[in-house]
Structure 1
Amino acid sequence: MRTVRDAAFDMLRRHGMTTVFANPGSTEVSLLADLPDDLDFVLALHEGSVVGTATGWAVARDEPAFVLLHTTAGLGNAVGALATARENRAPLVVVVGQQDRRHLAQRPFLTGRLEGLAGDYPVRVESPPRAQDVPGALGRAWHAARTDRGPALVVVPMDDWQQPADELPEAAPRALRQATAADPESVAAVAGLLDAAERPALVVGAGADHPATWRALTGLAERLGCPVWQESFGARAGFPQDHPRFAGHLPADRTRLRATLGRHDLVLVIGAPVLRQYPYEAGPLAPDGTRLAVVTDDPAEARNAPVELAVLAPLPAFCAALAHRVSARTARPAPECGAAPAVPVPAAGAPLRAAHVLAALAERLPADTVVVEETPSSRPDLHALLPARQPLGFLSAAMGGLGFAVPAAIGVRMGAPERPVVAVVGDGSSLYQIQGLWTAVHYGVGAVFVVLANGRYAVMDRLAEKHGGKAPWPAFEEISVRGLAEALGCPARRVGDHAALLRELDAVAATLPGRTEPLLLEVTVEPDPSFAP
């Protein structure tokens, strides 16, 4: 007898979802026991690590990853990571196990109230009315995750997998094609805005992180002779950050933002929100005389943009057409972003700062390295010293919550094993998903984790000072991230001075492309007293 489980596996194979990311529970055993040999199982030790690893994998491969979560506890533990997946535009198909359908009405142990638990972060949530509808629901979830670029959830009772499969075709298309051509009228409208502007500027974001979009935007910026800014708090780079037209990262407060944008009479935002901020400040985003427009493939970004023109379009095709449509003009002087700032070598015995570590990494990392960032107090230095030089060169958590970088770096390396992967993580950030290192060890994932250890939540300390108060939380200098990594089976070393740092990085750099073993370097750094969040 062909079962729902058999039909579901065929659906996964049809759509290339042959890797299962999970931390299983009892409601999923009937699906997983005797897993077919052509399906791979990846275990992580917490649901945040499960979803974070799958997110990195999906971003690296630009295709949906398959995730399995255990009823209320598993979905609840994963909600923050699912929110990050949504904001990072990572396509995930997420099956959430449920109690046996035959006695759900009596609300037995492990029954989950699942449909609204993840809030609005899933792009789709479906509870199939019959066991036989599960395979079709998986197909619809795959299409939703891929087209809407986020997690799509399917809730499946544990007894459904062994039920006989329906003989009728699944209620999901075998193929769903999206138009990828650019609408000529929309291209003409945006080109008209650019041609009418005397001092245009581009702002790019995570949605533009695609090889074809990078090529098109490079041509557009050169044709316009205009600066290109990266959105603040961007999860991915939308433009080559070593290009002469790259101007830097936009500030995250409105006063400085208005000063920056006031140099331009038109700002065209591409693949980013308009314009992401952190602290609230009164007043408009842009000063009078600066017009705003946005081109994005995210409907929410388009609907929420305070602009005079918003265009919803496939970015690679649209940007290529726009680059050919605008009028060429004499190039203005390149923006004053310039080369990375010089970082003096610390004196013998002087403490390391994050900038020393990042400058040393910048001198040694190959151009195709994926840098996964989660070091809030060192982010400005990282942006200044470690520019993204290729698509997928930079990855961060768009939601801002901690616990992303460790599992995401593992998933990126699994999904794109040809790319070197280095995670730069604060010690406080690393503790949120340190157990992800076990997955890297067990599956031979050669990512390198550089942990900047200052023994405190430096960003929170600075925020408390900014509010004129004393932080009630203690430092945690006694925690050994190296010790935790070693306890999870991950090779780890602690670095305390500049000479040792250079020796370690010289040894690691040559191994990055072909590594099959993870490594954690815990680098002791002093907090930067000049940092202001």
Structure 2
Amino acid sequence: MSTGTVRDAAFEVLRRTGMTTIFGNPGSTEIPLLAGLPEDLRFVLALHEGSVVGMATGWALAGRGPALTVLHTTAGLGNAVSAIATARVNRAPLVVLVGQQDRRHLALEPFLAGRLHGLAGEYPVWTDQPVRAQDVPGAIARAAHEAVTGRGPAIVIVPMDDWSAPWDGTVEAAPAAVLRPAAVADEEIAPLAALLAQAEDPVLVAGAGADSPAGWAALTELAERLGCPVWQEAFGARAGFPQDHPQFAGVLPADRGGQRRALKGHDVVLAVGAPVFRHYPYDPGPLVEPGTRIAVVSDDPAEVHRSPAELAVLADPAAVCARLARLIPAARRRREVAGPDRRAVPPPAPGAPLRAVHVLQELARRLPPETVVIEEAPSSRADLHRLLPARRPLGFLSAAMGGLGFALPAVAGLRMALPERPVVAVVGDGSAIYGIQALWSAAHYRIGALIVVLANGRYAIMDRLAERHAGGPGAARVPWPAFPEVSLSAMARSFGCPAIRIDTHDRLVAVLDEIVPDLASRTEPLLLDIGVAPDAEFHP
């Protein structure tokens, strides 16, 4: 377009790039952009900036392309930094428009003027405040490309008067389209193919970067060709391999000692879509036993560049694995894989409290394979991995950054983007409190997600970590109190979200039998506030 305002030109960019859903919590500096929004652009309100970015992260991870968020100057961007960090580590392409005071008196640092460059640290993949108002549409278009290529949030800072500036038809400093060919030439991966072909006992480690239909198919074909076990990376944001496959070994231990034991006996370890390796807590010693060689395949430059591997391939994991499966000879034998222990536990005795494992087990018996499970229950994570395997791409999602407050916004964004798939969040009550504002958006926009809160009335993960630090159960006196008086069901209802309190196994079974069969067709959220006793042990 050659006439109109910068705002009009920016809207054309949003339409062209598919960013027609805007997640935001508006402030005064964003009014010139949002007031009188065209009807073909949808605004989704969240009640806190962490929820804004969390919902957009869920939307983007559902494969809808870059998601658009609008934040309010210093306060909005500052409130969203933790969620922006999560989006970066979760590889979610976001375009973040941050409002700024009127350009014409910024030199005087007026009220609401923000020192916005660097406020989000190094978590954005790109940040820009255009020199001229007329450069804003091009900056938004470039941010969409940067977010996709850099796999993370790209920030554009826009002074509020820029939107009404006349559009002069200036050249946009961004391409109309970016091609990212995924072809992999055989000669380029010949060294990796040779390494695997020579291996006597290889093993694969799958990561979030392989979580796509093409990634699952290629990695499955490669694993079956090699006849080897496949581990899931520790603290992964997503599952890179079907976790109900007979060659799935489980989630890799998060400490070096446990990892060495898990990978012992393998002469080649190939990490696919994952770095080498993520750990917590610190444990001294080498990553693998002497004599074990490490290779990595990832399309994330940062993952590749920091991985202490003998050989690294910076390319699309699905394309590389598909070619490797055709280049290497079939294994002469298939290694037996024990896999995760999925044995059932008995229900609680009459009068005994529910535990998280009882809830997870009943969910596992009922959830269909296409369910998206979002996890933010740190003290129960090991049981969730064991009992709720990801059976479809995007079947599992977690906050790889580790900060709380991700699941409730993400479950809303994901279900909004994928109305055909059941979406379930499994969240601790301590975690849920950090993102509770997202329930209002879920209720207001009639987002049919199920939120399962494992309510033990405390930060159980912190209690267990303190005990481990002090030498064993009961050895630590912690300064933080429990919070049994907090009612997540009451909080949910106050935001307009239906909620059910559950305290017995019989009630749990009855409620799940009633609601799970209709999860895919739900048109409103539901929170299950389930009272559980704290887990006695913690396995990172």
TM-score normalised to structure 2 length: 0.98
- Give 2:308's aligned residue: 306
Residues 250, 340 of structure 2: 8 Å contact kept:
no
CA offset digits 1:222-280 (Å, max 9, x no partner)? 11100000000111000000000100010011111111112200000000010110111
Q: Give 1:503's aligned amino acid.
A: A
Residue 473 (structure 2) aligns with: none
The CA distance in 2 between the partners of 1:510 and 1:463, in whole Å, is 37
Find the counterpart in structure 1 of residue 389 from structure 2.
387
Unaligned runs of 5+ in 1: none
8 Å contact from structure 1 (residues 341, 384) kept in 2: no
Q: Is the 8 A contact 2:6 2:134 kept in 1?
A: yes
Contact 1:226 1:331 in 2 (8 A): no
Q: Is the 8 A contact 1:481 1:522 kept in 2?
A: yes
Deviation string, structure 1 residues 69-117 (Cα, Å, up to 9, x no partner): 0000000000000000000000000100000000000000001010100
CA distance in 1, matches of 2:122, 2:328: 39
**Aligned residues, how many?**
533
Deviations 1:335-366 (A, max 9, x none): 10156121111112111110000000000001
Contact 1:462 1:532 in 2 (8 A): no
* DSSP-derived class of the 2:500 partner: strand
CA distance in 2, matches of 1:329, 1:466: 42
1:434 and 1:486 map into 2 onto residues whose CA distance is 11
- Alignment deviations for residues 99-155 of structure 1 (CA, whole Å, 9 cap, x no partner): 000000000000101010001110100110000000000010000011111000000
Residue number in structure 2 paired with 1:320: 322
Match of 2:31? 29
Determine which of 203, 206, 210 is the counterpart of 1:204.
206
- In 1, are the aligned partners of 2:134 and 2:170 still within 8 Å (CA)? no
Root mean square deviation, CA, Å: 0.9
Query: 1:446 aligned to 2:453?
Result: no
**SS of match in other structure, 2:519:** coil
Counterparts of 2:185 and 2:84 in 1: how far apart (Å)? Answer: 33
Residues of 1 paired with 2:409 and 2:9: CA distance? 30
Q: 1:376 aligns with which of 375, 378, 381?
A: 378
- Give the corresponding residue for 2:485: 478
Name the CA distance, whole Å, in 2 between partners of 1:120 and 1:28. 24
What corresponds to 2:190 in structure 1? 188
Aligned to 2:334: 332
In structure 1, C-alpha distance between the alignment counterparts of 2:467 and 2:264, rounded to whole Å: 31
Tell me which residue corresponds to 1:517: 524
- Of 263, 266, 283 in structure 2, the residue corresponding to residue 264 of structure 1 is 266
Q: Structure 1 stretch 186-195 or stretch 121-130: which is displaced more? A: 186-195
Once the two structures are TM-superposed, the CA of residue 186 in structure 1 deviates from its matched residue by: 3.0
Match of 1:502 in 2: 509
1:129 counterpart SS class: coil
Could you tell me how far 1:450 is from its partner in structure 2? 0.2
Residue of structure 2 aligned with 1:220, choices 219, 222, 238: 222
How far apart, in 2, do the equivalents of 1:447 and 1:44 lie? 16
1:532 CA displacement: 4.3
Instruction: Say if 1:223 and 1:331, in contact at 8 Å, map to a contact too.
Output: no
Contact 1:187 1:325 in 2 (8 A): no
2:24–2:49 Cα contact (<8 Å) kept: yes
Give the match's secondary structure for 2:44: strand
- 2:497 is matched with 490
Deviates most, 168-177 or 445-454: 168-177
Question: Structure 2 regions of 5+ residues with no counterpart?
Answer: 471-475
What is the correspondence of 1:142-181 to structure 2 with a 5 Å cutoff? 142-181=144-183
Alignment partners' CA distance in 1, 2:187 and 2:522: 49
The letter for the 2-side match of 1:484 is M
- Secondary structure in 1 aligned to 2:95? strand
SS in 2 for 1:61: helix
> Percent of counterpart pairs with the same letter?
65
The Cα offsets for residues 483-515 of structure 1, whole Å up to 9 and x where unpaired, read as 000111110010001000000101111110111
Alignment of 1:40-59 (within 5 A): 40-59=42-61
2:14 counterpart residue number: 12
Listed as ranges, the matches of 1:385-424 within 5 Å are 385-424=387-426
Give, in whole Å, the separation in 1 of the partners of 2:401 and 2:392.
23
Query: Runs in 1 of length 4+ with deviation above 4 angstroms?
Result: none
Q: Is the 8 A contact 1:236 1:395 kept in 2?
A: yes
For the residues of structure 2 that align with 1:218 and 1:62, how far apart are their CA atoms?
A: 25
Q: Residue type of the partner of 1:220?
A: L
Provide the rounded CA distance (Å) in 1 between the counterparts of 2:340 and 2:129.
Answer: 54
Give the Cα separation in 2 of the matches to 1:152 and 1:315. 24
Displacement of 1:169 in angstroms is: 2.4
- The alignment partner of 2:416 has SS state of helix
The alignment partner of 1:112 has SS state of coil
